[in-house]
Structure 1
Amino acid sequence: MTSISTPFGLSSTAAEVAAGIDLTGRRAVVTGASSGLGAETARALASTGAEVTLAVRDLAAGERVAKDIAETTGNRQVRVAPLELTDPASVAAFAASWQGPLHVLVNNAGVMACPEQYTEQGREWQFATNHLGHFALANALHGALAADGAARIVVVSSTGHQRSPVVWDDIDFAFRPYDPWLAYGQSKTANVLFAVEATRRWAADGITANALMPGAIYTNLQRHTGGRGSGRVAADLIKTTEQGAATSVLLATSPLLEGIGARYFDDCNESEVVGRRTGKLYGVARYAVDPDNARRLWDLSEELLAG
């Protein structure tokens, strides 16, 4: 299997990646698009001529971003719809309201290292938001994605997945002390595994899925982690939001990714599989791309949503 390499890299912006791409007549959904990476991803997709729906919790913020995107890109086909990923009813309502085919689904929304919290269904908050909600959304939109014939799912993961595999016997921290970073890592591993299994199950429907690490970017995602004062990443590796959105836009639009799925990218190029935690911003853990783990997670996710 040949690794995918592109002309883009760490400093590339979403606008640079999208330049020359024409998605006129295609439709895209970006979750968590009322700020940060989601907003810049939506902006770049709108610049290609696609109809873009911002799936957001805060409708007022989403409307402000949609207006700004329409003004800066000249694309008036920018819409806003409510979506709360931890609420199965909200996910179902969003999918039920969708009409027609869907070309790109960007699973961008997420939370990071938040305090211990659980959904009404008893699911740990980060796993529920980052993985289960998006899993339910993609499954509910499967028909729309299949109708496109060449749809792509883009899954925003993180190098944080190297902090923890999916702990099958204790996903919800019922038998171990809650650790916000382990919970985050587990949820980000689940993101990668979803891309692997979604591609295996749905490639025959013309649907492929890839996961990515956007890089180190200071956005609202870091509100629980100390933000700029944390000093965790070297200054020369910090990206702007426009740079952070580049890999998402690449996976959503590049002809190089046509028919390609079940892969993990960072800095706009496919990442290497690693057997140990790198402590860096690159590399995908072997357990996160293991097909047996991916199948197991899919089955478990169906059980959790059914229960």
Structure 2
Amino acid sequence: MTDRIITPFTAESTAAQVVDGIDLTGRRAIVTGGASGIGVETARALAGAGAEVTLAVRDLQAGERTAEDIIAATGNKQVLVAPLDLADQASVAAFAAAFDGPLHILVNNAGVMAAPESRTPQGWELQFATNHLGHFALTTALHPRLAAAGGARVVSVSSAAHLRSPVVFDDIHFRERAYEPWLAYGQSKTANVLFAVEATRRWADDGVTVNSLHPGGIRTRLQRHVTEEELDRLRAASGGAAPWKTTEQGAATSVLLATSPLLDGVGGRYFEDCQEAGPHQPGTRTGVAGYAVDPEAAALLWQVSLDTLAA
């Protein structure tokens, strides 16, 4: 086992604290879902450190409002907005084709959680299609831009919900089994961790590293499909869950992985509360599941994803 990354930050640290003293002038970043929730605070912290930041968003009006707010708060005018719908492969391809020049930081932050059963026109289950396949297609399409940057970083925003389910390769899209929103979400979040493992294996020689994370419990629009009663039940079942984080705290681990010198050359790992997580222990809601960092599952998911997108 390689040495676990230890940082001076905690669950209470904010994105601004994590990036304090880091100069991102001349660096270019993309944040998917940058107009809501922790995406806003991730983008704000990167822009505040001097990066050019593109908010990749479905709602362009919300993106423009967010960009104006970040420009006003940071004085950095290099905050851009571009359309991206991760559930639409044509939208993903168009976004990637339009992004020119090197890309230093890609934060795959957007997602849907515990959505009612829904499918893309291809018949893919929506959460897997958005949270994994959309980001997989985006990142692989942007790989030449990342490789051109030298030392680029990709941040894959996962969740402790990955502990709910491995990727069920026999029935990823719930064609045979009954649809269950949390299992579908958990599977997609496991895919986010596995992606970091295999992408790092494939791309480390290009100077591209990918890490994944659990941001913590934050009240955002991500939970729009979940009732208060359901959230309370889930938190009670998880053994007296940690307190809710602010969005500024929720973005901290993403920003750490995107910027910290402690992560230079480090990839394929899973973080929570600004620290590299250890193996999951039964009875807890922390740590990383063995199936989520299994290199064979990661390689299989990569091939399945390629085959799915090519079909």
Q: TM-score, normalised by structure 1?
A: 0.97
Q: Does 1:291 align with 2:292?
A: no
How far does residue 150 in structure 1 lie from its aligned partner after superposition? 0.5
SS in 2 for 1:3: coil
CA distance in 1, matches of 2:214, 2:125: 22
Deviation string, structure 1 residues 60-87 (Cα, Å, up to 9, x no partner): 0000000000000110000000000011
CA distance in 1, matches of 2:171, 2:275: 33
Contact kept in structure 2, 1:82 and 1:94, CA below 8 Å = yes
How far does residue 163 in structure 1 lie from its aligned partner after superposition? 0.3
2:304 matched to which residue of 1? Answer: 300
Amino acid of the structure 1 residue aligned with 2:107 = V
Contact kept in structure 2, 1:14 and 1:247, CA below 8 Å = yes
Amino acid of the structure 2 residue aligned with 1:295 = A
CA distance in 2, matches of 1:135, 1:72: 32
CA distance in 2, matches of 1:12, 1:58: 29
2:177 matched to which residue of 1? Answer: 176
Deviation string, structure 1 residues 262-285 (Cα, Å, up to 9, x no partner): 000000000011264x442x2100
2:192 matched to which residue of 1? Answer: 191
1:259 matched to which residue of 2? Answer: 265
1:106 matched to which residue of 2? Answer: 107
CA distance in 2, matches of 1:30, 1:197: 21
Across the aligned residues of Structure 1 and Structure 2, the Cα RMSD in angstroms comes to: 1.2
1:141 matched to which residue of 2? Answer: 142
| Large movers: runs of 4+ above 3 Å | 232-236
How far does residue 20 in structure 1 lie from its aligned partner after superposition? 0.4
Give ranges in structure 1 of 5+ residues lacking alignment.
none
Deviation string, structure 1 residues 193-237 (Cα, Å, up to 9, x no partner): 000000000000000000000000000001111148732435752
1:223 matched to which residue of 2? Answer: 224
Q: Does 1:249 align with 2:255?
A: yes
1:11-90, aligned counterparts within 5 Å? Answer: 11-90=12-91
Aligned length: 305
2:9 matched to which residue of 1? Answer: 8
CA distance in 2, matches of 1:259, 1:230: 37
1:202 matched to which residue of 2? Answer: 203
1:123 matched to which residue of 2? Answer: 124
Contact kept in structure 2, 1:275 and 1:286, CA below 8 Å = no
Give ranges in structure 2 of 5+ residues lacking alignment.
none
Q: Give the share of equivalent positions with the same residue, in percent.
A: 67
SS in 2 for 1:195: helix
